[in-house]
């Protein structure tokens, strides 16, 4: 009806499609194929069937990295579901100055993980601020090796992830809380419901779909954890590399001087299998949320 030629839409789409094919779809197809080969950075590339996957099943380095990643998710996800919600409830009420507080709580999101990691490396050093304060308060007698013990390093990284994620998920919760009818809460207040009770019996049921969404988003993010560990350990993943995550391990296997590209691709597919469940769930939830909001 507009007298438009058939290829006009494709001209509009061309740059985006070119980029998407080059750096997304072709590499994804390539990864899938390479996972069944013995390709290395410097040669190889013959199909070897399921050899890579057999190797994965017996690779202690992989299982260790997977264990670290799973532990990471198990700790970080519940905290990132609950704490940002409490924070959102705290700033949901329109008291004077609340907009400034929202901005303050979002600030860590804006900073890059490198900056945040370096700041926390400094604060958590054996002679750093946290150890000094804990010593001064007589909580500990000797400084804790936050960065040089692999378990403590992982815990420190988890703390950083949570600290940096608070503001991001707070904003998602705020959008959900804005849809909670104010008169419901008002009525509960008049009823004399205590704040804690009001939170459990009114707020939580109303934002439950958002809690699931935040859970899936933070799970995907935690499954891919890398920068925290790399920066806080100065690239070493702790003593003996004991604090490696899955992405850390994939990078090491696949992108070294003679990277084992085939094997790294198989590992990547395992990571993909882990995240895709959460991704599909979050897409479905968002569509459903949008549907109910419209």
Partner 1 sequence: MNRRTATAAGLTGRYLLLAAMTVVSLGPFAWQLLTSLKGAQEPIYGADATWLPHHPTLANYAAVADTLPVWRYITNSLIVACASVLTNCLFGAMAGYALARMRFRGRGVVFAAVTAALIVPFEVIMVSVFLTVRDIGLVDNLLGVLLPGAVSGLSILVMRTGFLALPKETEEAAVMDGAGEWARFRRIALPSVRGSLAVVAVFSFLFAWDDFLWPLIVLKSPDNYTLTIGLQYLSGTFTNDQRVVAAGTMIAVLPLIIIFLGLQRLFFRGVGEGGVKG
Pick from 71, 79, 123, 134 the residue near partner 1 by CB under 8 A.
123
Segment 52-111, which members bind partner 1 (CB under 8 A)?
A: 87, 90-91, 93, 95, 98-99, 101-108, 110-111
Nearest approach, Cβ of 183 to partner 1 (angstroms)? 18
Pick from 121, 150, 161, 203 the residue near partner 1 by CB under 8 A.
121
Query: With contact defined as beta carbons under 8 Å apart, do 201 and 263 qualify?
Result: no
- Binding status of residue 22 toward partner 1 by CB under 8 A: yes
Q: Which residue has 């008291």 as its token pair?
A: 95
CB atoms near residue 123 (< 10 Å):
16
Q: How many residues bind partner 1 (CB under 8 A)?
A: 99
- Binding status of residue 259 toward partner 1 by CB under 8 A: yes
Instruction: Single out the segment in contact with partner 1 by CB under 8 A; choices: 7-15, 59-67, 73-81, 201-209.
Output: 7-15
Segment 27-46, which members bind partner 1 (CB under 8 A)?
A: 27-28, 30-31, 34
3-state SS record for 6-75:
CCHHHHHHHHHHHHHHHHHHHHHHHHHHHCCECCECCECCCECCCHHHHHHHCCHHHHHHHHHHHHHHHH
- Nearest-angstrom CA–CA distance, 207 and 39: 48
- Nearest-angstrom CA–CA distance, 71 and 250: 18
* DSSP classification of residue 282: H
Instruction: Single out the segment in contact with partner 1 by CB under 8 A; choices: 58-66, 69-77, 112-120, 146-154.
Output: 112-120
- Binding status of residue 268 toward partner 1 by CB under 8 A: yes
Of 231 and 243, CB closest to partner 1: 231
- Nearest-angstrom CA–CA distance, 137 and 255: 46
Instruction: Single out the segment in contact with partner 1 by CB under 8 A; choices: 53-61, 68-76, 115-123, 200-208.
Output: 115-123
- Contact letters for partner 1, residues 125-144 (x by CB under 8 A): x-xxx--x---x--------
Phi, psi torsion values for 215, nearest 5 degrees: -60, -45
């Amino acid at each position: 009806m507009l007298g438009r030629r058939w290829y006009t839409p494709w001209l509009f789409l061309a740059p985006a499609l070119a980029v998407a094919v080059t750096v997304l779809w072709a590499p994804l197809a390539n990864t899938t194929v390479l996972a069944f080969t013995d390709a290395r950075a410097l040669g190889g590339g013959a199909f070897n069937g399921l050899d890579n996957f057999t190797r994965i099943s017996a690779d202690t380095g992989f299982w260790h990295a997977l264990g670290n990643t799973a532990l990471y998710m198990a700790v970080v996800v519940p905290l990132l579901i609950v704490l940002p919600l409490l924070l959102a409830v705290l700033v949901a009420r329109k008291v004077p100055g609340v907009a400034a507080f929202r901005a303050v709580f979002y600030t860590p999101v804006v900073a890059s993980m490198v900056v945040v990691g370096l700041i926390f490396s400094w604060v958590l050093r054996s002679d750093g601020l946290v150890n000094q304060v804990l010593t001064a308060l007589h909580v500990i007698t000797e400084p804790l090796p936050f960065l040089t013990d692999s378990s403590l390093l992982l815990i420190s990284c988890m703390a950083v992830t949570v600290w940096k994620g608070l503001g991001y998920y707070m904003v998602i919760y705020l959008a959900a809380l804005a849809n909670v009818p104010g008169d419901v809460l008002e009525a509960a207040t008049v009823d004399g419901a205590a704040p804690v009770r009001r939170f459990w019996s009114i707020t939580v049921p109303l934002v439950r779909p958002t809690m699931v969404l935040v859970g899936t988003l933070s799970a995907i993010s935690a499954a891919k954890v890398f920068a925290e560990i790399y920066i806080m350990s100065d690239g070493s993943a702790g003593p003996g590399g004991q604090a490696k995550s899955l992405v850390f391990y994939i990078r090491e296997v696949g992108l070294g001087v003679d990277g084992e590209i085939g094997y790294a691709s198989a590992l990547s597919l395992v990571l993909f299998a882990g995240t895709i469940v959460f991704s599909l769930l979050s897409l479905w939830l968002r569509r459903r949320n949008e549907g109910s909001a419209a």
